[in-house]
Amino acid sequence: MTVTFKGTPVTLAGHFIQAGEKAPDFLLIKNDLSEFSLSEHNGNFLVLNIFPSLDTGVCATTVRRFNKMAAELPDTQVLCISKDLPFAQHRFCVAEGIDNVITLSDFRRESQFGEEYGVLIADGPIKGLLTRAIVVIHPDGRVVYSELVSEITQEPDYEAILACLR
């Protein structure tokens, strides 16, 4: 699949996960360097906010917006996933007062999250980072919503995300 970065096409590795598919398990790193896996989640809906880096304005905006949304979404846990180091994610959360979402890092060399979810950027100037995408996982492990944002520098469709959680 391809998306664009500032109008230039970039290729993604893997198959972008679609609604109706079973969400593959993953292993990501929390800010305290402990591991988080899908198989260990608490049975709530999961919103995966996937993006390139907190060091960009749009990515930071989405995390702030999801932090506000998460406070109003019962039985829902929001996971903000990037390749940023856990230390940088923690610093951002402290500075911004982010406390309703969990930031997770996919920085590990042996990580397969990006390819298994079809969000790993395979070429272009930000090769190796994750593209902007949203995946909503039902408590039973099924994907109920997926959005691959066609232009990485744009925000996702927040209203569609909220609609699938209501």
pLDDT at 2 over 90: no
Residues 11-53: pLDDT tens digits?
Answer: 999 999 999 999 999 999 999 999 999 987 768 999 999 999 9
The SS3 call for residue 143 is: strand
C-beta of residue 86 within 8 angstroms of C-beta of residue 93: no
Query: Could you tell me the pLDDT band of residue 8, with boundaries at 50, 70 and 90?
Result: very high
Q: In the block, which residue shows the tokens 């920085």?
A: 107
Distance of alpha carbon 157 from alpha carbon 111, whole angstroms:
27
Residue 102 has a pLDDT of 94
Please name the residue ranges forming H helices in 11-112.
57-70, 86-96
C-beta of residue 148 within 8 angstroms of C-beta of residue 121: no
- CA-atom Rg of the chain in angstroms: 14
Active centre residues (catalytic) = 59
Residue 109 has a pLDDT of 66
Residues 54-103: pLDDT tens digits?
Answer: 999 999 999 999 999 999 998 999 999 999 999 999 999 999 999 999 99
Residues found in the chain: 166
Q: Where are the beta strands (DSSP E) in the chain?
A: 2-5, 8-13, 27-29, 35-37, 45-50, 76-82, 101-105, 120-121, 133-137, 143-148
Residues 105-151: pLDDT tens digits?
Answer: 999 766 789 999 999 999 999 999 999 999 999 999 999 999 999 99
**CA 59 distance to own-chain centroid:** 10
Domains and CATH numbers, the chain: 2-165 (3.40.30.10)
